[in-house]
A and B are shown apart, each in its own frame.
Chain A
């Protein structure tokens, strides 16, 4: 823990900490004060730029945009999990003709930027005659990118289990599928849950990319309202509202991860030689899903 880096401060230490605390607070207050002053100075606290919140139509639009974001998230998350499960199974396969293509697919979609992928679907595919809606392009991109990352998470979770587990299962005469579904998966899933959820947080944030292909979600909404001269271009207020929504959603998901992790740790005693950490080859200090 970080607390071991310093002694319990003595009288001089406490005084010194107070001084640096005061300086730090002053610096931060200065910065916040400057920002607050600029907000005030440019009229971001005026009633006019916040008045859009009172219109029922605009409130309903906000709800529609929120639902659109959650829709893309939900569909993308389910598809990414399925994609991840399939390709993790492929990468863990004993047959090279399954393993190698799965590896190539996973590595390919992890390496190219998600936005380029979404552009490929939205702008590229129609050129070849395939019809694409922004929603479909966004969800496909989310599925392929996050699915590939999840495939790595799943694979690492399975590989992190002690080899004795599968050896014992094989010794009992189970088949490959039985070993996987009855023995390995139930144990690995517990260890993987926090990593899976933190990847879902990434997926939720990535839905904002839909803005760039005109999918009507929260950011597109922010652009529409924010650019409205009738309300004095309330970009700042609208962004405060929208980012509060994003942060709340992501924190709810992260708390779920923390909760599950805590619950997992409590039951660690029962399964003494169970999974201790994910991924032997992924560094344990940063869960595989915490990419950006």
Chain B
């Protein structure tokens, strides 16, 4: 029964499903990746800023979001948010917002710890030269921090790519939702999910290899 042609057939007969599914996954990933990088860096700047109240806000955000399951965040945007009657958004948009907000907390932590790895002497020297907070951060510390930040940031983004599947549970037609449609068409779910897993392997493995090589090449001896 499970001949090779059966296994191939599940993919070949449903290429439309797989194509739109993975296209939506990648779209969701790119949007949330850009959004979370921007928001996360902003939050990291809040967390190291000289104004105590802004630091507290950054800390509160990170603590709340990091300790909440992503499923709950997406659940909130799918079911509770529409009741609040603010702006109507599509399921896709609300999933992007949820993924962005959630991932930003992790990006923030990575960027902040990257800032902390830069030698104290660098910031001290910058201050001794009379640079302001913004100049110290933007011209001295961040450029150095980026080297040690990029590899772990890549792992956060890989996690984001895998997390996009959770959006499938909330009416977003992406790779995780291929299963629903396959069972409607009466295909073998096991084989279908195997193809989905393979698709993720193809997406994730190059990113992992990239991350490893960056780690090796950019590791700074301190």
Contact = CB atoms under 8 A, between A and B. Distances in A.
A115 interface: yes
A76 to B, nearest CB: 14
Contacts of A161: none
B109 A290 contact: yes
A114 B79 CA distance: 23
A276 interface: no
Interface string B111-127: 01111110010011001
B53 to A, nearest CB: 5
B103 A116 contact: no
B168 A115 contact: yes
Given A1-B120, A4-B123, A226-B79, A112 B155 contact: no
Contacts of A125: 190
A124 B72 contact: no
A87 B12 CA distance: 36
Interface string A39-59: 101101000000000000000
B92 interface: no
A116 B67 contact: no
B137 to A, nearest CB: 6
Contacts of A11: none
B212 to A, nearest CB: 8
Contact of B54 (A13, A20, A211, A292): A20
Which secondary structure dominates chain A's binding surface?
helix
A25 B53 CA distance: 7
B190 to A, nearest CB: 4
B134 to A, nearest CB: 10
Interface residues of B, number: 76
Contacts of B163: 113, 292
A85 interface: no
Given A281-B215, A285-B148, A290-B109, A223 B79 contact: yes
Given A4-B123, A239-B72, A42 B85 contact: yes
Interface in B47-102: 47-48, 50-54, 57, 63-64, 66-72, 75-76, 79-80, 83-86, 102
Given A2-B48, A246-B68, A115 B176 contact: yes
A270 interface: no
Contacts of A2: 47-48, 112, 115-116
Interface in A215-232: 219, 222-223, 226-227
Interface string A109-123: 001111111011001
Interface of B: 47-48, 50-54, 57, 63-64, 66-72, 75-76, 79-80, 83-86, 102-103, 106, 109-110, 112-117, 120, 123-124, 127, 133, 136-137, 141, 148, 151-152, 155-156, 159-160, 162-166, 168-169, 175-176, 179, 183, 188-190, 193-194, 196-197, 200-201, 204-205, 208, 215, 219
Given A38-B84, A123-B183, 9 more contacts: A4-B123, A41-B85, A115-B165, A120-B194, A123-B179, A124-B193, A235-B80, A239-B76, A292-B102
17 contacts: A1-B120, A4-B124, A5-B137, A111-B205, A113-B162, A115-B165, A116-B176, A119-B176, A123-B183, A124-B189, A208-B72, A212-B71, A219-B69, A235-B79, A239-B76, A283-B215, A291-B159
